[in-house]
Every structure is written in C-alpha cells, then in structure tokens.
C-alpha cells in the first residue's frame, strides 16, 4: 500500500477528470483537455479586473485566475483587496460566464471564498498548512494544489492525500517550479515531475510557467514544454500593463503575447494528444 | 531602510533578550544566556510526558517542549493529542515550574494554546503561513519562529517582521536545518546563518540540532557547533525510549545522553561567552 | 561588456550553427536543425557497439554517442574500454558514415581522441576542469559542453568562454539536469535554462533527457519538452538490452522505444520551427 | 562491504593520523591535533607571500597555504602565477620551516608540484576529476581533498577511495561548504557532515570556513563551530590587505583578526578534546 493510497494510480483504473460546473457550462481538467487558466496575479481594482477578464474571455481561455488574498514575503507589500476582491471575482464570473479560481490562505475564509469562486487554490507556501488542507478537503469545490517551493513529489502527493482523505475527490495538481541554487530564474520548473506525477497518480496536473520562471520571455517556452511533457493545462499570469502591476509584473504577459502563446499551445496540444497515447503504451510496456 | 525594519539590528542599539515569565520565575533568551529547551517531539500520554518532564527538570533544563498539534507529512501519521495534549502540557508546567513551548498550526487554536503554555512555536512548514504569523503577532506570548525548510535568511527575517509588525516584540528565531541535495542527514544545519542573523538582527537565535540532523549521533556535535557559533540556546528532542517514540525517535536522545550533552554545552557556553565578546569587537572593526 | 563576451549573444548577430564534417557529409547543430544523437552510455564491446550503431543509423539518427573513458563515482565501477573503445568508435564511424561524439576526461588523451571521433564531449563533472577546457579549446573538433551538476547558467557560459577564448569557436551546450533536493529523479531537467541560454548566447543548445531524468519512462516526455522549449537537438541513451547495460541501463531506451520517440520529435520539431520564429519576435519585442 | 571500503571506518581500528614530514619537523593531522593551515588565497608576488608567511609563522600556525594554479570561474580572472608561484612557495617553506599545501589542477603538473610543496590539494571543482585523483593517488605526498560544491558525502568518500585505491593512504578531507539556495553566504557550511564523516571514515577531516561562508565576519564563528563539531583542523585565508587581494579578499582575515581567532580556537580545542572522547563513547553506545 502506497503512502498516498487515494492519490496513487491504481492498476486498470482511469485518470481523474476534474469537472468545474457553472450554470450552463462545465470545464474539465484532465487527460485530453488542455485547460487554460489566465488572469492577473492579484485583483487590483474592479475596472481593471473586469477589463482583463473580458479580454481573456475574448481570447478564448477556459478559466479566470485572480488573487484576493495574496501571501507576500514582506508584511509591507500589497496583500490583495481581501473581501472586496472576492466580490470583484464573483462579478467577473457573472459577466464572463467563466469559472474563477482564487487562493485561500486562512481556513476561516474558506466558506466565504467558496461562495464567490469555482475552484479553490492552495498556494505553494501553504502546501503543508494542514489545517487549510483539511478545510479544503471539506469544501464543495475542486482544489488546485500548488507544489511547495521545496516539496518533494512524495510530499506533494501526500498533501493531496489530506484533501482526498477529508472527502474531496476533486484535486488538481499544479507544478510551479522548485527552489534550487540557480538565480537567473525565479524557480526551476521541474518538467519531469509533470510526467512522473501522471505516472504515479490519477490526478490531473497543470503547470504555472509564470511563477516557475519569473521572466516574461521564458513563459512561452516553459508553457510549450509543459504541454509537450503531458500537462493537462496551464495557469498563466496576464496583465494589461505588466510594468504597472502591483505584484509579479515582471513575469506577466500582455494580452497580445498571451493570445499568440495560446494559439501555439492549442496546436501543440492537438499534436501532443496523439503523442500522449503513445506515451501510455510505452508506459504499459515497461 | 531595510525590508525588515523592525527585525533588523540598528546601530548602537542592544540585542533583544526575550523574557518568559512564570509565577516566581523568569527565563531569558538572548546574548549571554544559553537557554536549553528539551522534551519529546510529541506529547504521547500524560504519564509519559510528566515522567520525562520531571527527569528533564532534574537534569537542569530551562524550558520544556512538547507537541500537542503535530504537522505531519502524511494524513495517516500520529498528529498529536490535540486539546488533551495542551492539558498535559499545562499540568507539566504546574508540576515542574518550568515554562513550556508548543507549536500552534491553526490560527483558530491560538487563544486556547496561549492559555496553556508560555511560548508559542511557529513550525518550519508554517513559516510563511501569514494568517498564523499575524495571529501570533497579536498574542500575549513570546513566539519561537522556526526557519522554513527552504527559506532564505531574508524571508525568515521578514516572517519575524510579520509578528513584530502586528505588535508582538518577543520573537525568538530558531535555525533547524535547510533542505539540500544531501541525503544522509535529514536537513543541513546552516550554522553560518546563526552568526549572520545575529549580525543582521537584534533578535535572539537558537538552534534545533535534532531536526537539523535527524540522526541521534549528530545531535551532540551539532549542538556544540551551534553554541560555538554564537547561538543563544538550543532546543533538543529527548525521549525516555526513543525507539518507541510515536514521532522522530531516530533523532531523539535518551535522558542519559542528553545529560552528558548538557554538561558539555554549559562548559562551552562559559568559554563562548568570552569568545563572543571578542566576536562583537571584530564585528565593529569591519 | 558581459563576463562571457565571446559566448554572449550580440545585438544583430546570428546564432551559431556548429558544423560537424565528415567525408561527403556535414551535420549541423543550431537553430532549425533538430539534431539527434543516440547510442549506449558506454562502448561495451565491438560487436555490441557496431550492432546498435547500425540499428540507430537505420532509425535515422544524426550522430552516434558512446563512452570510451567513463567518469564513474566509484573506482570499482566499469570505467570504459579506454583506447580500445576509441578504436571501436572509429570503426563504427567508418561503417555507418555517422559522426561520433565521445567524452574526454584527461587532457593527455585529447590528441588521441580527436583522431578517432568528430565531436569531443566535456562531461558534467569536468565542466570546471579548466585544464581540460583549455585543451579542448585548442583542439580542431567541435566541443559538446555539458552543464555541471550544480553549475549556474553563468558558470556554464563562462566554461564555454574558456573554450572559445582558447580559439575554438565550435561549442555546443548540453543541458543534462541539475542537482536538487528531489530524489525521485536522478537530476532535475532545467527546461527554462534551454530557452534562457538561447536568449543569452548565440551557441546551440541540446538536451540530454536520459541523464536529466534517470528514468526510462521519463525520457520521452522530457525529450518532447526540450524540443518544445527550443532545444536544437537531443542526446539520448539507447541500448539493445538496457537491463544488461554496464552503466546507466535504468535510463536507456530500447531501439523500439527510441524509434517511436524519434518520430514524435521530428513531428514536434516541424511544429516548433514555426513556433520558435514567433518566439524570436516576442523576444525582440521585450 | 561498503562502496568505499578503504575509506570507511572499520570496527576496532584506529583513526588515521596523516603525517606531513619536513626535515626536523613532522606535522600531524588527525584526532587530537588541531592543525591550523593559513595563508592567502593565491600567491600574488614573492615579497607579499614571504611577508605573510613569516607573519603567520610568528602567529603560530602549523602549515602554509597559497595557490599557484587557481581554478577561476572566468577565463579573464587572475589564475595564479603558475610555476613562478611554486618557486615562491618552495622559498617560503625554506624560510619559515613550515610545510606548504597548494592546489594542483592538471595531472601534468603533479610531479613538478610535488617537488615544491608538502601536501597536494584537490579543489572542489576537481573532486570528480578522476584523472587527477588517480595521479594524486600515485604521488608521494599527502592529499587534501576538498568536498565538491554539490557532492554528497558518499561521493566525497568515493573520491577519497580513488586516491587510496591508487596507493596513497594519506588523505585529509576538507569540508568547505556546499551549494544551496541561500544567497547571503557564498556556500552553506555542512557542519554535521564533519561529525558524520568522522563516524563513517577513519580519515581526518578539516574545515575551510573562508570558502564555506565567503564573508569575513562569519569566518570566526564558522571556525569555532567546526572545532566544536569535531574537526581535526582548519584552513583559513589570511591576507595582509584583504581589500587589495587578487582573489577572495572579501572572505580573508587580516593577520590581527586571525591571531585572535587562533587563540580562541586553541582554547576551544583544549575543551573539545575532553568532549570528543565523550562523543566517542556516545557513538559506541548507539
């Protein structure tokens, strides 16, 4: 018996496809989908957020992202609009018809957050915040679980196990880079982990190339690499005016850059679809 | 202005000595003290805990440790006795007259924990759990803040800044090893960080050689190294019967081993007292 | 002026395409090529090597690899056939008409090795063996320079600078994974480094997914990711019977697996060709 | 049988004490000694080197260090005086009567270097330069083997095994910090490795606090920690005028700082002598 018995891939069983349901629409995340989540790092103002949300809907994304509660290294940095941010996210959802994912950092906020969005995010710094994981495990929404900054693959799957064990079967894993000695990139995207986790677990895996690289020019190649390696989707930071973003501007794409990248990704995903089947065969062969 | 303006050492100002007050007794942590905190990883039962607490009082420690809420990588591992553990800690305090430190993992438990112990611990996995840090910053007790598994020194000081900024000036920093590629030890004790943090900050710094090494035979040399490098104290895991401990037995000392180590440490601290003054001079000279 | 003035990309100048010349044939490595180098980790015997070399020629690779001098962690491991291995490599080259790359570990072997093969490899452990780098810089052959186990991108480019400065302009960089805390893979493939180095330098970059992952099942996804991220080629370990390989069997593909992967890669490279142009534009836009 | 059978500690056998012999003098390195090696990073000129050598002799060190062949990350940095540097080292030895250690970076220089100095150093970047290790194994002098930048303890002991297996039983291990994510220090001194290697191997272990920390103010606390953890000696960079050093000035001590540190160290070593015996007993108890 594996240490992460609920998260682990069982012989003969299918991969999990997480379903995010809205009135009149369901977004799937799992094998064969190439779910694209985009938006600014944080919700900075109502007008700004609604504008980018509508632009991204136009470009054809599958889900919106946006932070209301931002974990920040310094207590003096902008930490999000909080409750007001949640209201803006709910409005963006209503206006665009797109599902929304946002991070929750305090177990006491869980209920309120669940009322406003469609997917709950547990961030890297909280991957082993077990109180928060258990609360997410009791929530009715799918949970996007980011890998911790220095979490091993096993620890990441065990964090997922906390959510599954508490009763929530809808977990999406998100690789976002790990901390290494290399200083030219914000983190080191562990691209092989994407394929390895899909081997070890039935859960869907997406990649966040924005945090993984921390450099605008590397987001596109990292995103393409993620899809080529078998990721089920991407989460990408996009901002109307990255140089004026209140957080993470240096790694945010403009809508124009993002639109070009999304075209590439859709093409690649079509090709990768054929490839990944073959991958499955190779896997069985081993 | 430094990013961690409250935590940083200001020219001409003194180091902070944290005072832990009990009826009829005050334990200090800071320059010139060599505060020794000891106890088992987790409170396993009332009888067990009271027995080891009395033994450790006999050996002459300054503060008791013991986990009631244990963050565990796997949801299937023993996670502490919870509230019952807090009651046992309170009883041990009453029986021994020693102050007690315990970890809090959920901001909703803060008030209850503060009623039972004398120092609150924020563990490595929660070093960037900002909701918890802010709650600790509003608590009346000193806070022992462990360095995160992969936290830079700057991030660690900024985490302390969260607590200070929320109004609690009593923060004790605890170096407990960082995650590296080396697999023969549980973590890598960053011994130079002890001296560097004392240069950068006025806060006291202690070392946890048990978690830093994860191997019983390395606890003593690591503890001695910590004091020689200028640490203000130590936190060490001791268990009556390490091989039967419910957590961390492999790195726990027996009371006998611990008593021998404490003698060494007291001798070394006497010597290091003279040395550290000289260190201060060297520092000024730079 | 950059620290690596010869290796760095200069405004307005083209990327370098390394040319490996044989009688009647030239193999190019650089933008637009997708050069595939394959072969066993080490040359184990004449018959074995000639057999796999012919198989790989059939499959359509561009260059053969094979180790005659193998740097091994333990002095008791198989360290290659040495001079005899060089003769076998020369014969394989004659028989297949394919160019051959092999590692050199001792500056005193440089001349002899240059007589037998077409590209010299400097391995990870020797990336900062400056005596060897300088000798390679004086050799007439192109040099494939692997990134060190824990080398930063800047150190890697400065190692290339040693070769360039000594007079050899033909350097191929090879990303092969870096050492991190993750233990489930042999190394962590730094996929973003591929794109970043192509931004910083005019030199071609290839990827070795075999050493980067150390697990057979991960070689294919890592190889696809490399091409999608903009790598100019791949170096892959292939063995007739991986389970009986004298070194690195666990990460070697069978010829059948490799043939399937090569088909995928050629398709992807076609698509990525279009993509990478767009990437260039994005880059210019920054 | 251990992978490093010659380097490993055998039950019941003694620790190795390396003897460095000069006419009329023998310097020992091993348990109970506290051998202090000091000198500038590189030999910069005859006058400079002789001056510091005489100063250090006066202060009472046991061995001189100084680089004639310096491995430098950039091909444009000062790389030592080469052969001329060797002559200066030989002169310093004659003038002071102290043994001298210097690094060799090219197997072709081994013989010449052995004629001029008393201990050969293999640097971090060459820890897995197996051609060099084997050459050192055939040399008549003791070898000081630095741990690689990202070498595991096991790899380090296996590198020692190469030297031992080639016939040279006189190996001194030197911990000099490993590469981690922390950026405020040049490297991370792995202090627990000192104690662990002494458990695993019979070879003497010394520490280089200068490279381990890369900051002048941290050299003294790191040196004290090393001795407290059981190191058999220290290698420390000292320069008359650190701010004008051609390499590593930022981590070099002035002679005055060094003299104060040496006093501390001798005191501590006296105390640690008593302690380490007790350590042995604890070890046996396990």
Using one digit for the tens of pLDDT, what is the confidence trace for C63-111?
999 999 999 999 999 999 999 999 999 999 999 999 999 999 999 999 9
**How distant is the Cα of D180 from the closest Cα of chain C, in angstroms?**
9
Question: What does the pLDDT read at residue C236?
Answer: 98
- Predicted local distance difference test score (pLDDT) of residue B116: 96
Q: What pLDDT, on a 0 to 100 scale, did the predictor assign at position A239?
A: 96
Nearest CA in chain A to C183: A152
Q: Which of C108, C131, C158 sits opposite D73 (nearest CB)?
A: C158
Q: Would you call A57 helix, strand, or coil by DSSP? A: helix
Given a cut of 50, whether residue B277 has pLDDT beyond it is no
pLDDT score, position C2: 66
Chain B residues lying within 8 Å of C150, measured CB to CB = 181
Average pLDDT, chain D: 93
Indicate the range of A141-150, B277-286, C52-61, C254-263 predicted with least confidence.
B277-286
Neighbours of chain A (3+ CB pairs under 8 A): B, C, D
User: In the structure, what pLDDT confidence band is assigned to residue D264 with cuts at 50, 70 and 90?
Assistant: very high
Selected residue of C8, C183, C215, C224 to mutate for chain A interface (largest A Cβ count, 10 A): C224
User: In terms of CA atoms, which chain C residue is nearest residue A274?
Assistant: C264
Contacts of B75 in chain A (CB under 8 A): 130, 158, 161-162, 165-166
DSSP annotation of C237 reads: E
Out of A178, A217, A226, whose CB is closest to C180?
A178
A to C CB pairs, distance under 8 Å? 154
CB contact under 8 A, C179 and B181: yes
Asked whether the beta carbons of residue C228 and residue A225 sit closer than 8 angstroms, the reply is: yes
CA distance D95 to D124: 30
> What pLDDT does D281 receive?
43
State which residue of chain A sits closest to D179, comparing Cα positions.
A181
Number of other residues whose CB lies within 10 A of the CB of residue B146: 26
Do residue A179 and residue B150 have CB atoms under 8 angstroms apart?
Answer: yes
Of the pLDDT bands very low, low, confident and very high (cuts 50, 70, 90), residue B248 is confident
Residues of C in contact with B181 (CB under 8 A): 150, 179-181
Structure tokens given for D192: 């627990």
Contacts of B194 in chain D (CB under 8 A): 221
Q: Do C152 and A283 touch (CB under 8 A)?
A: no
φ and ψ at residue A216, rounded to 5 degrees: -50, -45
CA pair distance D171, D173, nearest whole angstrom: 6
Q: Domain for residue A125, yes or no?
A: yes
Q: Do D188 and B190 touch (CB under 8 A)?
A: yes
Q: What is the pLDDT along chain A (286 residues), one digit of tens a residue?
A: 468 999 999 877 899 999 999 888 899 999 989 999 999 999 999 999 999 999 999 999 999 999 999 999 999 999 999 999 999 999 999 999 999 999 999 999 999 999 999 999 999 999 999 999 999 999 999 999 999 999 999 999 999 999 999 999 999 999 999 999 999 999 999 999 999 999 999 999 999 999 999 999 999 999 999 999 999 999 999 999 998 888 888 999 999 999 999 999 999 988 655 444 444 444 444 3
Q: Do A180 and C183 touch (CB under 8 A)?
A: no
Per-residue model confidence (pLDDT) at position A222: 98
Helices (H) and strands (E) in chain A, counts: 9, 10
- pLDDT, position C282: 40
The pLDDT of residue D277 is above 50: no
Give the model's pLDDT for residue D278: 43
Q: What is the pLDDT of residues B142-194, one digit of tens each?
A: 999 999 999 999 999 999 999 999 999 999 999 999 999 999 999 999 999 99
User: What's the structural domain count of chain A?
Assistant: 1
Look at C228 and A230 and tell me if their CB atoms are within 8 Å: no
Q: How far apart are CA B118 and CA B111, in angstroms?
A: 12
Answer whether residue A106 is part of any domain.
yes
Instruction: Pick from B130, B158, B162 the residue to mutate for testing the A interface (most A CBs within 10 Å).
Output: B130
Residue with tokens 């010829």: C255
In a domain, C2, yes or no: no
Expressed as residue numbers, the domain containing C220 is 18-279
CB C74 within 8 A of CB C92: no
* C153: confidence class by pLDDT, cuts 50, 70, 90: very high
Q: Tell me the count of C-D CB pairs closer than 8 A.
A: 74
Residue A277 has what pLDDT? Answer: 43
Residues of D (179-198) whose Cβ lies below 8 Å from A: 179-181, 183
**How buried is B61 (Cβ within 10 angstroms: 0-12 exposed, 13-18 middle, 19+ buried)?**
buried
User: What's the whole-number average pLDDT of chain C?
Assistant: 93
pLDDT, residue A155, reads 98
- In D121-160, the residues whose Cβ lies within 8 Å of chain B are 150, 152-154
Cβ neighbours around A77 below 10 Å, total: 14
Q: At C102, list the tokens.
A: 């092999």
Beta strands (DSSP E) in chain A are 18-22, 25-29, 35-39, 63-65, 100-103, 119-122, 143-146, 171-175, 205-207, 233-237
Query: Any bridge partners for residue C171, and if so which?
Result: C143
Contact across the interface for B73 and A161, Cβ inside 8 Å: no
Which residues on chain C are in Cβ contact (under 8 Å) with B150?
Answer: 181
When pLDDT is cut at 50, 70 and 90, the band that residue C221 belongs to is very high
Cα separation of the two ends of chain B: 21
Contact A193, A175 (CB under 8 A): yes
Q: CB–CB of B158/D155 below 8 Å? A: no
Cα(A151)–Cα(A148) distance, integer angstroms:
5
Token readout for A217 is 């020019």
Q: Are C113 and C141 a contacting pair, CB within 8 Å? A: no
Inter-chain touch A108–B108, beta carbons under 8 Å: yes
**With an 8 Å Cβ cutoff, are D192 and B199 in contact?**
no
What number of other Cβ atoms are within 10 A of residue C31's Cβ? 19
Interface of D with C in 59-118 (CB under 8 A): 71-76, 79, 105-108
pLDDT band at D272 (very low <50, low <70, confident <90, very high): low
- CA dihedral sign, ordered A24, A28, A32, A35: positive
The span from the CA of C16 to the CA of D147, in Å, is 36
CA distance C282 to A256: 10
Q: What is the pLDDT of residue D162?
A: 98
How many other CB atoms are found less than 10 A from the CB of residue B169?
13
Taking an 8 Å cut-off on Cβ atoms, the answer to whether C183 and B179 are in contact is no
Return the percentage of chain D with pLDDT > 90, whole number: 86
Using a CB-CB cut-off of 8 Å, the residues of chain D touching A180 are: 181
Report the residue of C67, C68, C72, C75 to disrupt the D interface, i.e. the one with the largest count of D CBs within 10 Å.
C75
The CATH number of whichever domain residue C223 belongs to comes to 3.20.20.70
Nearest to B43 by CA among B206, B237, B218: B237
Query: Are C43 and C81 a contacting pair, CB within 8 Å?
Result: yes
**CB–CB of D3/D154 below 8 Å?**
yes
User: Does a structural domain hold residue A5?
Assistant: no
Q: Could you tell me if D161 lies within 8 Å of chain C, comparing CB atoms?
A: yes
Query: Which candidate from D4, D75, D129 shows the least CB-CB separation from C162?
Result: D75
pLDDT score of B273: 52
Best mutation site among D6, D75, D80, D166 for testing chain C: the one with the most C CBs within 10 Å?
D75
SS3 content of chain A, % helix, strand, coil (to 5): 45, 20, 35
pLDDT number for residue A2: 66
What is Dmax (Cα atoms) for chain B? 54
User: Average of pLDDT values for D35-59?
Assistant: 97
Q: What three-state secondary structure class fits C139?
A: coil
User: What CA–CA distance (Å, rounded) separates A203 from A194?
Assistant: 11
Q: What is the pLDDT of residues D205-259, one digit of tens each?
A: 999 999 999 999 999 999 999 999 999 999 999 999 998 888 888 999 999 999 9
CA distance C252 to D183: 36
Domain assignment present for D7: no
CA angle C166, C171, C177 (to 5 degrees): 120
* Contact flag A271-C271 (C-beta cutoff 8 Å): yes
Residue D190 φ/ψ, nearest 5 degrees? -90, 80
Helical H segments across B43-190, by residue range = 46-59, 83-96, 110-116, 130-137, 153-165
Question: A31-65 burial, b if ≥16 CB within 10 A, otherwise e?
Answer: bebbbbbbbbbbbbeeebbbebbebbbebebbbbb
Within-domain flag for B13: no
Cα dihedral B116/B123/D191/B153 (nearest 10): -120
Q: Do C150 and D72 touch (CB under 8 A)?
A: no
Contact B53, B98 (CB under 8 A): yes
* Nearest residue on chain C to B182, alpha-carbon basis: C181
Longest CA–CA span in chain C (Å) reads 54
Name the nearest CA neighbour of B231 among B172, B161, B153.
Answer: B172
Which residue from B minimizes the CA distance to D178? B180
* Residue B2, pLDDT score: 66
According to DSSP, the β-strands at A171-175 and A205-207 are parallel
User: Residue D169: pLDDT above 90?
Assistant: yes
Give mean pLDDT, residues C40-67.
97
Output the 3-class SS for chain D: CCCCCCCECCCCCCCCCEEEEECCEEEEECCCCCEEEEECCECCCHHHHHHHHHHHHHHCCCEEECECCCCCCCCCCCCCCCHHHHHHHHHHHHHHCCCEEEECCCHHHHHHHHHHCCEEEECHHHCCCHHHHHHHHCCCCCEEEECCCCCCHHHHHHHHHHHHHCCCCCEEEEECCECCCCCCCCCECEHHHHHHHHHHECCCEEECHHHHHCCHHHHHHHHHHHHHCCCCEEEEEECCCHHHCCCCHHHCECHHHHHHHHHHHHHHHHHHHHHHHHHHHHHHHC
Closest CA in chain A for residue B178: A150
Q: Which residues contact D187 (CB under 8 A, 6 or more apart)?
A: D149, D176, D177, D178, D179, D180, D211, D212, D213, D214
Give pLDDT, residue A247: 84
Work out the minimum CA distance from B169 to partner chain D, whole angstroms.
Answer: 25
- Mean pLDDT check: name the lowest of A124-133, B85-94, C262-271, D148-157: C262-271
Angstrom distances, CA of residue C249 to CA of B89, C89, C217, C245, D154: 54, 20, 12, 5, 21
Nearest to D221 among B185, B229, B267 (CB): B229
The first and second tokens of residue B115, run together, are 């009623």
CB contact under 8 A, D106 and C107: yes
Whether A267 has its CB under 8 Å from any CB of chain C: the answer is yes
Distance in angstroms (rounded) separating the CA atoms of residues C50 and B274: 71
Q: What's the CA dihedral at D81, D87, D90, D96 to 10 degrees?
A: -80
Give a yes or no: residue C211 inside a domain: yes
Is the pLDDT confidence value at B16 over 80?
yes
The residue among D3, D72, D74, D161 with the most chain C CBs within 10 A of its CB, best to mutate, is D74
Q: Which two tokens mark D87?
A: 């002559």
- Give, for C271, the enclosing helix (H) or strand (E): helix C255-285
Cβ–Cβ contact D165 with C under 8 A: yes
Average pLDDT, chain B: 93
**Whole-number pLDDT of residue C281:** 43
Task: State which residue of chain D sits closest to A180, comparing Cα positions.
Answer: D181
* Cα–Cα nearest to A174, from A109, A214, A232: A232
Token duo for residue A76: 């003096």
Residues C126 and C121: their CA atoms lie apart, in Å, by 10
Find the angle CA(D51)-CA(D53)-CA(D57) to the nearest 5 degrees. Answer: 120
Using an 8 Å Cβ cutoff, are A65 and A94 in contact? Answer: no
Residue pLDDT, tens place only, B41-54: 999 999 999 999 99
Determine, for residues A76 and B3 on separate chains, whether the beta-carbon distance falls below 8 Å.
yes
Q: Output B280 or D146, whichever has higher pLDDT.
A: D146
């Amino acid at each position: 018996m594996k240490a992460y018995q609920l998260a682990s891939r069982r012989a003969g069983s299918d991969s999990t496809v997480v379903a995010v349901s809205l009135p009149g629409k369901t977004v799937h995340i799992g094998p064969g989908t190439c779910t694209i989540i985009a938006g600014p790092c944080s919700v900075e103002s109502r007008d700004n957020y609604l504008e980018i949300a509508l632009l991204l809907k136009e470009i054809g994304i599958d889900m919106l992202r946006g932070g209301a509660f931002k974990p920040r290294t310094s207590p003096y940095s902008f930490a999000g609009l909080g409750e007001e941010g949640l209201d803006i996210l709910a409005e963006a959802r209503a206006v665009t018809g797109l599902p929304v994912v946002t991070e929750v950092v305090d177990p006491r906020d869980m209920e309120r957050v669940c009322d406003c969005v469609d997917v709950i995010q547990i961030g890297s710094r909280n991957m082993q915040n077990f109180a928060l994981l258990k609360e997410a495990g009791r929530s009715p929404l799918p949970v996007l679980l980011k890998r911790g900054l220095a979490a091993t693959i096993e620890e990441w799957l065990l964090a997922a196990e906390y959510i599954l064990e508490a009763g929530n079967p809808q977990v999406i894993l998100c690789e976002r880079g790990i901390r290494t000695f290399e200083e030219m990139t914000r983190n080191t995207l562990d691209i092989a982990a994407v394929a390895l986790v899909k081997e070890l677990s039935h859960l869907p895996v997406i990649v966040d190339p924005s945090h993984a690289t921390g450099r605008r020019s590397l987001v596109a190649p990292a995103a393409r690499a993620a899809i080529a390696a078998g990721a089920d989707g991407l989460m990408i930071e996009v901002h109307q005016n990255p140089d004026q973003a209140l957080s993470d501007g240096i790694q945010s794409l403009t809508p124009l850059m993002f639109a070009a990248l999304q075209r590439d990704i859709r093409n690649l995903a079509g090709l990768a679809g054929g490839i990944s089947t073959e991958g499955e065969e190779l896997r069985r062969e081993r």
